Amino acid sequence: MAREAAGITVRELARRVGVTPSLISQVERGLAMPSVGTLLEIASTLHLDIGDLFKSEVRPVRSAAGLVQRSGSRTTIRLASGVRWERLTAAPDSEVEFLYAVYKPGSASCGEDSMLRHGGREYAYLVSGRLGVKIGFEEYQLGPGDSISFDAQMPHRLWCVGRRPAVGIWIIIRRHGDDRQPQEHALGFHRRRSPARPGT
């Protein structure tokens, strides 16, 4: 466990992140889910990359084509806001995050009154549904087949538009830091046990 390897107690980690010790305990038992801000705050405190949080004990499958990530065994993070990230690489990559992202109806990357900001660059392609994107003062709405790229240091917010999930493919290059204070305090990582596809 990263916390123990760093020699940090539950109480100390809670103090540094700004949450309660009982929450950290729930986090470590997989009983809670994170906001993006909380997720990044914990990773930063433990000197981890987001990719490290996707690590699992399942070994990648080797084939003639190289490393393969099977659809039914992706490592998954479910955020408190209703967003699900599935890692599309068979192993963590310190330079790039390659993700399958699902924004359930009513879900968003952060609250309406806050925006995310972190180092790196984001590229996204929307597969289905509709996604609202705010970057700085500009707002956009993406539909199936639309794509977007932007400097992630620009304040940004993403949310599902309508009653169907917004599903997309994300590439985030060299993500680091997050200057937003977390507003929700819940964290949990889950391995998806069977393939699940959102309705289209």
What single string gives the DSSP state of each residue in 14-41?
Answer: HHHHTS-HHHHHHHHTT-----HHHHHH
Give the SS3 label for residue 71.
Answer: helix
CA dist 142 and 170 (Å) reads: 14
In tens digits, what is the pLDDT along the chain, a chain of 200 residues? 677 777 888 888 888 878 788 777 776 766 666 666 666 677 777 777 665 665 443 344 444 345 788 888 888 888 777 889 999 988 888 788 899 999 999 999 888 888 888 888 999 999 999 999 999 999 999 999 999 999 999 999 999 999 999 999 999 998 776 543 333 323 333 344 334 334 43
Give the SS3 label for residue 126.
Answer: strand
Residue corresponding to tokens 């169907």:
164
Of the candidates 172, 183, 179, 184, the residue with the CA atom closest to the CA atom of residue 148: 172
Q: Which one of 2.60.40.10, 2.60.120.10, 3.40.50.300, 1.10.10.10 gives the CATH number of domain 2-59+69-191?
A: 2.60.120.10
DSSP 8-state code for residue 50? G
pLDDT tens, position by position, 140-193:
999 999 999 999 999 999 999 999 999 999 999 987 765 433 333 233 333 443
Residues 36/79, Cβ–Cβ less than 8 Å: yes
- Going from N- to C-terminal start, the domains of the chain cover 2-59+69-191
Helix (H) or strand (E) run with residue 87 in it: strand 83-87
Look at residue 190 in the predicted model and tell me its pLDDT.
39
Look at residue 74 in the predicted model and tell me its pLDDT.
87
Residue corresponding to tokens 């906001």:
35
Q: pTM for the complete prediction?
A: 0.63
DSSP H helical segments within the chain, as ranges?
2-5, 10-17, 21-28, 36-45
DSSP 8-state code for residue 108? B
Q: How many helices (H) and strands (E) does the chain have?
A: 4, 12
